Structure 1
Amino acid sequence: MKRIVIASITTAALLTGGTAAVASTGAPTTHATNVSFSEAAQAALKAVPGTLDSLDRDHGRWDAEILGKDGKWHEVTLDGSNAKVLNQHIDRDTDAEDAAEAKALRNADVSATEAARKAASRGTVTSVEFDGDRTPVWEVETVKNHKERDLNVNAQSGKVTQAPSDDD
């Protein structure tokens, strides 16, 4: 009976975009992520006005990196069930690569939310990250039918393409 309950909770959590785990006591613990990408992006940018550089759903939370209007890099962690800010701080460990990323991000015609919207037809968006190297793109991860898909959204044109596979 316990296996059926755990399997049911795991299935329900995965269908709603969350994850489920079993604590050492055997009691199920659910880390549901009910907050959509756009809701998380809006909450992160409300906490730190600026330009969203990345937003990633992980273990029932959303982790955001924002180039603030103050020109500093900010990291914000949001609760995945209600979008409340759990942690927020300025990233003080920046270098020349971060400055180049900031410049490319400021020159992008397509925002993180627009990139997510363009990729959403291919599944539920779980991560968007700006890559300013070479041709600036938004790297977008989507999930559909329990299958992860990596897409690139051109930061200038908005064109969506399949990301090259990682041959690690």
Structure 2
Amino acid sequence: MKRIIIASIAAAALVGGGTAVAVAGTQSSSPATQSSTPAAASTGASLTQAADAALKAVPGTLDSIDRDHGRWEADVLGKDGKWHEVTLDANGKVIGQHVDRDTDPEDAAEAKALRNATVSATEAARKASGSTVTSVEFDGDHTPVWEVETVKNHKERDLNVDAHSGKVTQAPADDDHGDDDSDDD
């Protein structure tokens, strides 16, 4: 009995103190698909919920989803073959959508690689389990991968999830850290 009470008090302290808020308060059982900020996690939509809402608004294949300034922003390759940008509020309600008319020849190659992927964006997020996913984006340039940005214990981490096998690897470090563009004219 004492263990149950102590565990309950410890859980309440964690939730009240904000440490466990990213895991608590959402309907997803995996922290991998939680929203990116503690305040949003307790009242907002998870990545999976936002992705589902974006795909309901624009049926197709999710290319990327990102939480930015309290909103979810999703790019969807629609079943109509067009690229769509969908904006959702923190709760996953669609607040805007439009067709992206600024396309280039690389978009056709991206669309083909995305259609051939056997791992979806939400599956890639789940593969990064144990962390809070803040962004998932498809990269079909060379070897098709999902670039997954995560936060765990207040530390950001970038992972790659192979779009065919689902294998998770640490993303290579960016080579532009500390580049202040001072050499640009």
| Higher RCO structure (Cα 8 Å, ≥6 apart) | 2
- Structure 1, gaps ≥5 residues long: 1-10, 20-30
For the residues of structure 2 that align with 1:39 and 1:92, how far apart are their CA atoms?
27
TM-score (norm 1): 0.81
**Structure 1: distance between partners of 2:129 and 2:70:** 20
Query: Given the two structures, how large is their TM-score scaled by the length of structure 2?
Result: 0.74
Matches within 5 A, 1:3-152: 12=18, 15-16=21-22, 17-18=36-37, 32=40, 34-80=44-90, 82-121=91-130, 123-152=131-160
Q: Which stretches of structure 1, 4 residues or more, deviate above 6 A after TM superposition? A: none
The structure whose residues are more often strand, as a share, is 1
Report how many residues are paired.
145
1:109 match: secondary structure? coil
How far is the alpha carbon of 1:15 from its aligned partner?
A: 4.4
Measure the CA separation in 2 of the matches of 1:65 and 1:97: 15
Equivalent residue letter for 1:148:
E
**Structure 2: 5+ residue stretches without partners:** 1-16, 23-35, 177-185
Give distance in 2, aligned partners of 1:32 and 1:104: 33
Change (3 A) 1:73 1:14: farther
- What is the identity percentage for the equivalent residue pairs of Structure 1 and Structure 2? 76
Q: CA deviation at 1:131?
A: 0.2
Measure, in 1, the Cα distance between the counterparts of 2:45 and 2:18.
Answer: 16
Larger radius of gyration: 2
When the two chains are superposed, the root-mean-square deviation of aligned CA atoms in Å is 1.8
